[in-house]
Structure 1
Amino acid sequence: MTENNGQGSSGHIEKSSTGLDYNVAGLLTYSLGVITGILFLVLEKDSRYVRYHALQSIFLWLVIIVINMFIQIIPLIGFLFSLLFAPVAFVIWIVCMYKAYKGQWFKVPVIGKIAEQQLGDFKN
């Protein structure tokens, strides 16, 4: 999607209904995974940007948790796969936080599309 610099017509940074700048709120949706995703989804009333990142955070972390659980049940090589998966998940997490802070509607493949569809189902 496109990058949004978050500046309104008066030149000031947009605020979310939480009182935070929209980009800071977007970053925080990823900070504690599903917990902060749900928290911001419930609290945010105005900003589609923050709600999108909250939804993407929820779905992303649920996928990471499920994949990690599946990897852990594989005998012997599951441990090795988890050693490879953990840094990949960490990098994805950092990239999502960075992109949200920069004001970008960054989409994680598949998960971002689902979050966008769910956002369309929410009515303010």
Structure 2
Amino acid sequence: MSPFKSSTGLPENLAATLCYLLPMVGGILFLSLEKRSRYVIFHALQSLLAFGILAVAHLLSSAVPIIGLLASALLALVGVLMWLVLMANAIQGKWFKLPWIGNFAEKQMQRI
């Protein structure tokens, strides 16, 4: 466990993992609660953005007949794999950034 505590009282790596454990909800929750840990804020933003984009992609794929079904299945697989990788890296205390989304989350974190 991380020796550093977030403003929620949880170790930083545990708080960051919880951002991913409950996709989007965890991100919103920790964005509203966290006041000082840049590590937790980054993972909350990345979670919110990544799973928000994934949800929109699922919604759009459902509008396409036949191919949309295959796209939806692939999105589900990508979503589960992404979820596992993000949680594993967060609990280990790594600043793992998804391509594009991680950079965008980092830029948004600078504004907060």
Query: Where do 1:23-38 residues align within 5 Å?
Result: 23-38=13-28
Larger radius of gyration: 1
Indicate which of 57, 61, 65 corresponds to 2:51. 61
In the alignment, the residues of structure 1 paired with residue 101 and residue 54 of structure 2 have an alpha-carbon distance, to the nearest angstrom, of 11
Name the Cα RMSD after superposition. 1.2
Unaligned runs of 5+ in 2: none
Once residues 83 and 61 of structure 1 are traced to their aligned partners in structure 2, the CA distance between those partners, rounded to angstroms, is: 15
* Count of residues paired in the alignment: 112
Q: CA deviation at 1:88?
A: 1.1
Identical aligned residues as a percent: 46
Structure 2 counterpart of 1:47: 37
Q: TM-score, normalising length from structure 1?
A: 0.86
Aligned structure 1 segments of 4 or more residues deviating by more than 2 angstroms: none
More helix by share: 2
Alignment gaps of 5+ in structure 1: 7-12
